[in-house]
Amino acid sequence: MKEKIIELAKQMQPELAAFRRDFHKHPELAWTEFRTTAIIATELEKAGFEILIGEEAICGNYMKNVPADEVLAACTKRAISQGADPRFVDAMAGGKTALVGVLDTKKPGPVVALRFDTDALPITESSHPDHPPVKAGYVSINPGIMHSCAHDGHAAIGIGMAMILSQLKNELTGVIKLIFQPAEEGVQGGAVGIIKKGIVDDADFMLSFHMGLHSAESTIYCETNDFKATTKYDINFHGKSAHAGANPEDGKSALIAAAAATLALNSIPRHSKGASRIHIGVLNSGTASNIVPDHAYLEIETRGETTEINEFMKANLYRILDGIAKAYDIQVNLDPAIVETGEAISATCDPCLVSLTRATAKDLGIFEHIKPLAGLGGSEDYTFFMEHVQKKGGKATHFILPTKLSAKHHHPNFDIDDSMLWKGVAQLTLMTVKSQNLLTQP
C-alpha cells in the first residue's frame, strides 16, 4: 500500500501544481470562495465522493462578517466568469462556501475527517518581476487579494487525496470525510459553522496540517502546539459632533475616547500562567480639523496561550472599554454578539496521532528531517474541530508540512514551493490508511 500511495502521489504532482497555481491566480476572501470551492467540488464529484455543499455543509447562524449581498453577487459573477460550475455556485448562496466530500467504503471501520482551508487574504500581491508567480504567470488577477498563507496548497492537497482515495477505495474501510473550510483567516466562524452542522460528530480521528511556517524545505514537524486562543473585536464609539472653535464644550470626542482606550488597553497586565497579547490594528475617526468627531472605530484582537488566558484578556478589555465610555460620556456597544467578529481556542494534539504522524513519515522515507514539535505561535480555528472530536471520544492532531517559502506568511512576496505537494498527499493518505489500526489501541 505504501509503495502504491507514493507512486500515485508522484504521478499526480504536475496536476497538484496546476491546481495550486490556478487557486493562487484566482484567490477569494472569506465567504466568497465560490470558484475555489466549485473547482474542488467538481474534482471530488469526478472521484466518486458524495458532495455536501452550502447549506448541507455549514450552519449560517455561525458565519461572522459575511459580505453584503451586492458583494456576494459580484463575487459569484466573477467566480462563474473565471470557470466555476454555476450549479455549485448556486448551491453556495449567501456565502455558504463550505464543502464536504464523503467517501463511504460500506465496510466497518473508523470515520476519519480531514480539514483543508481555502480562503485567501486581503493583500495586494507583489508585481516584482522576480516574484515567482509573476515569473511563472500565476500571480493573482483578483485585485487586493492573494494567497499569502499556503491555503492554495492545502486545497490542492485535498484534491490529490480525493484522487488517490478513489483509486484505493476497494482496499479501504470505514468513512473518510474531506472538509474544505472557508473563512479560516480572521477565524470568522468557518470551523464552528461546519461543526454545528454535525459533520464531525461521528469522527474517530481528525487530521489537519499547515504548509510552511517554521518548516524548512525538507523537514516535517509531527506535532503542532502553541495554538493561541484569540478573539477579534470591532468597536464603535459614538460621541457628539460640534465646532472645534466656536463651541467645543458641546462636543464629545469619540476620537479622544478611542485614543484613550488604545493606550489603556495596552496596560492590561500580563498573566502568570502563560503568554498573552493585545493588538489594536485599526483606529479610524474624524472628518476635519475643526470638527469634534462624533464617531470612532477600533479593530482589536486579544490572544492567550490558553483559552483561560484569552478570557482574562477579554474580561479586562470589556472592563476598560466600559470605563472609557463612562469617563468620556460617550456610547460604546459592548454586546459580544455584535462586537466579537472572530474566535479561536487553544488545543492539544493526541499523542497516538502524533506517533502516527511520525511513524508514517518514517515509513514513507520522503522527508529528509523528521522533527517532533513546532509551535504555531498564532491562532487557528481548526482547534474547534479538535476540541469537538476529543470531547466526543475521538482523537485529533495537527502537523507542519515542509515547503520552501519566498517570503514569510501574510507578506506580498509570499509563495510556496509546490513541488512538495505530492509529499503532503502521500503523508495524509497513508496516515488515513494507517488510522484503521488505531481503533483497537487505547
Q: Tell me how far CA of residue 50 lies from CA of 3, 86, 105, 294, in angstroms.
A: 27, 18, 11, 53
Contact in structure between 389 and 201 (CB atoms under 8 Å): no
Predicted confidence (pLDDT) per residue in 394-405, tens digit: 999 999 999 999
Contact in structure between 420 and 154 (CB atoms under 8 Å): no
Predicted confidence (pLDDT) per residue in 141-176, tens digit: 999 999 999 999 999 999 999 999 999 999 999 999
Query: Confidence class of residue 217 from pLDDT cuts 50, 70 and 90?
Result: confident
Spatial separation of the C-alpha atoms in residues 217 and 405, rounded to whole Å:
8
pLDDT at 438: 83
pLDDT at 127: 97
Contact in structure between 262 and 283 (CB atoms under 8 Å): yes
- This prediction has a pTM of 0.93
| Structural domains of the chain, ranges and CATH numbers in brackets | 2-227+347-440 (3.40.630.10), 229-343 (3.30.70.360)
Nearest C-alpha neighbor of 1 from the set 170, 132, 227 = 170
Q: Is the pLDDT of residue 85 over 80?
A: yes
Contact in structure between 184 and 116 (CB atoms under 8 Å): no
Mean pLDDT check: name the lowest of 35-49, 312-326, 365-379: 365-379
